[in-house]
Amino acid sequence: MIKSPSKYPAKHKSIPARGGVSTAFGLKWPIIWAFPLILQIFTFAAAQSSDVEIRLDIDGKRPKITGSFAPSDEQRAKNNISFVLSTAGVESLGERIGNVRAFDADGAELSLRTLVPGEYLAPRPPVRWSYDIDLRPPANRLGSPHVSWLGMSGGFLMLGDLLPFEGRRERSARVKVVLPRGWRTVSVHPAVADGSLLIDDVSRAVIAVVRENTQPITFRSKRGAGYEMLITGEWQFSRADAEAMLGQIAEEYEKLFDARPAERVLINLVPFPQGGGVGDWAAETRRATVTIVSGDTPFATQSPQRLHEQLRHELFHLWLPNGVRLKGSYDWFYEGAALYISLKTGARVGRITFANFLETLSQAAAIEARMPAGSLLDASAGRWRGNTTGVYARGILTAFALDVAMQDAGRGKRSMDGFVRRLYAENREREADGNGTILRMLGEMPETTPIAERHIKGSERLDMAKIGLAAGVAWDGRRFTLTEKPSGRQRAILRDLGYNSERRRSRYQNEK
């Protein structure tokens, strides 16, 4: 994920809870499921997964959610109903929840004790439950791609913060979303005959709510992945631009990783539901769903450029980290690699110039210089505690340093491209610690071992004057510049970094 870094506030406003109780619900939705007989049939039909119904009311933005936990030993041993309380810088999520009711296996209502808003304790394990939730967009607009919300043109159901599965190991569910007329849901999850979605892990599931007449852009890659892109709102790029970019970037990355990211990929682009935010954007790629929430660009000509940048960055995450089973805080690596490889890809396909490429690295160096000393591993662990920008800046510079070192020592046989391809291929099914795995791989090459020891594990700063030299990229104390007469070997590395690619034809209608 990425946020327009300098704009991300260190402190986040909490989401205002909506006071009062909607008495209309009792009349509109009689709780027939509380009767034991109906409960029995329902539980039987649910088989092993939890069953959930989400009734949306787009105008009121306060859906009613009913459901049951799967009838398993684990679920029957827990007395609590717990929601995610904060996610990616959005706090106080529990305050959105109201009218929580719970019932035991016999259908008897349980009296709940509120430990904190979003965390409830019952005297016996709850089996069925109901509640409503305030889905007005978060006050902090940059939190929008990370939590559920509903705006006037639809929104997102991020089941992780919507359903009470926090702390439970079993996270599969059959989810039925009941919508008002004129709306539909779109997701990568398979549906059964009654329209319920089969979700294998609610914490990583995203359901987009859009108007029924929304036409997605679709693209099928050579490797057979189906990409679907939903664009809401008015933008200064054309639909043809977006279509061409999606295909180009998807194919570039499928080639880079030699694999498709998933059978189905969904990309959502929506304006900030709170309005405004010109120049800002924030995004999250959760499993195979990309959510980009964005303001417009100050100038029309920047609009296609930025969409390309957003797609280059977020689509990379479909493979890393979302396509591997690595664990732990190794954000310094996958964010650094996403920024770096998307930058390289931008230069390679002629979307940005090599001067843009160097300029971006120079900006990262300026941010990095203001960052306190400390190891990248430690900085990464504190990602959401205010130093996101620093981790991103040091991450992209480290990726650049590693790439140049590998290409120089490997004489064209080693590179960052090859490194991420191998990391992806070897860890798709293998559960391992991310940092441990990456450090082990870096330790296998003589040229990357010192970078890992001194700058990733250790707290020594990268030497800007040295990291690009083998590629003919010098540092003048303020910015990276191209050496006047690069040697043959330097030119070979420069070609890989996208140097000279800008001479290729421009592909997009809006491009200057």
Pairing of strands 173-178, 128-133: unpaired
Pick out residues in 71-130 that bind Zn ion (CB under 5 A): none
**DSSP 3-state of 28:** helix
Q: How far is Cα 31 from Cα 430, in angstroms, rounded to an integer?
A: 45
Least Å distance, CB 331 to Zn ion, is 8
> Which residue number, 53 or 331, has a Cβ lying nearer to Zn ion?
331
HEC string of 355-381 equals HHHHHHHHHHHHHHHCCCCCCHHHHHH
- Min dist. Cβ of residue 317 to Zn ion (A): 6
467 touching Zn ion, by CB under 5 A: no
Nearer to Zn ion, 63 or 321 (CB): 321
Phi, psi angles (nearest 5°) of residue 120:
-125, 145
| Residue with smaller CB distance to Zn ion, 103 or 340 | 340
Residues 476-495 that bind Zn ion (CB under 5 A): none
Mapping DSSP onto H, E and C, the string for 2-27 reads EECHHHCCCCCCCCCCCCCCCCHHHH
Q: Least separation, in Å, of the C-beta of 211 and Zn ion?
A: 29
Q: Which of residues 7-46 bind Zn ion (CB under 5 A)?
A: none
Q: Which is nearer to Zn ion, 199 or 338 (CB)?
A: 338
Determine if 391 is a binding residue for Zn ion (CB under 5 A). Answer: no
Interface positions, 213-252, toward Zn ion (CB under 5 A): none
* Residue 313 CB, nearest approach to Zn ion (Å): 6
Classify 218 as helix, strand or coil: strand
307 binds Zn ion (CB under 5 A): no
CA dist 131 and 121 (Å) reads 14
* Closer by beta carbon to Zn ion, 90 or else 199: 90
256 Cβ neighbours under 8 A, 6+ residues apart: 341, 345, 417, 420, 421
Question: Toward Zn ion, which CB reaches closer, 249 or 338?
Answer: 338
Q: How far is the CB of 206 from Zn ion (least distance, A)?
A: 16
Structure-token pair, residue 267: 């990309």
Hey, how many other C-beta atoms are within 10 angstroms of the C-beta on 219? 21
SS (H, E, C) 140-208: CHHHHHHCCEEECCEEEEEHHHHCCECCCCCCCEEEEEECCCCEEEECCCCECCCCCEEECCHHHCEEE
- In the complex with Zn ion, which residue's Cβ is closer, 1 or 250? 1
Q: Which of residues 308-337 bind Zn ion (CB under 5 A)?
A: 335
Give min distance, CB of 391 to Zn ion, in A: 11
Site for Zn ion in 126-165 (CB under 5 A): none
CB-nearer residue toward Zn ion: 291 or 490: 291
Among positions 51-70, residues that touch Zn ion (CB under 5 A) are: none
Considering the rule CB under 5 A, would residue 2 count as an interface residue with Zn ion?
A: yes
> What does the block give as tokens for 149?
């919300």
Query: What is the closest distance, in whole angstroms, from the C-beta atom of residue 339 to Zn ion in the complex?
Result: 7
Q: What does DSSP assign to residue 123?
A: S
Q: How far apart are CA 298 and CA 242, in angstroms?
A: 19
Task: Quote the least distance from Cβ 503 to Zn ion, whole Å.
Answer: 30
User: Closest Cα to residue 340, out of 293, 397, 296, 381?
Assistant: 397
258: Cα within 13 Å, side-chain hemisphere:
11
Identity of the residue, 254 or 335, whose beta carbon is nearer to Zn ion in the bound complex: 335
- The total of other beta-carbon atoms located within 10 Å of residue 495's CB is 14
When asked if residue 1 is in the footprint of Zn ion (CB under 5 A), the reply is: yes
* 364 close to 443: Cβ distance less than 8 angstroms: no
Nearer to Zn ion, 318 or 456 (CB): 318
Q: Residue-wise over 270-305: b if at least 16 C-beta within 10 A, else e?
A: bbbbbeebeebbbbbbbbbbbbbbbbbbeeeebbbb
Nearest distance from residue 1's CB to Zn ion, in Å? 4
Residue 141 or 176: the one with the smaller Cβ distance to Zn ion is: 141
CB of 337 to Zn ion, least distance (A): 9
Residues 336-365 contacting Zn ion, CB under 5 A = 338
Letters for 161-190 (x = contact with Zn ion by CB under 5 A, - = none) are ------------------------------
What number of chain residues touch Zn ion (CB under 5 A)? Answer: 4
CB of 396 to Zn ion, least distance (A): 11
d(CA 396, CA 335): 8
What is the binding site for Zn ion (CB under 5 A)? 1-2, 335, 338
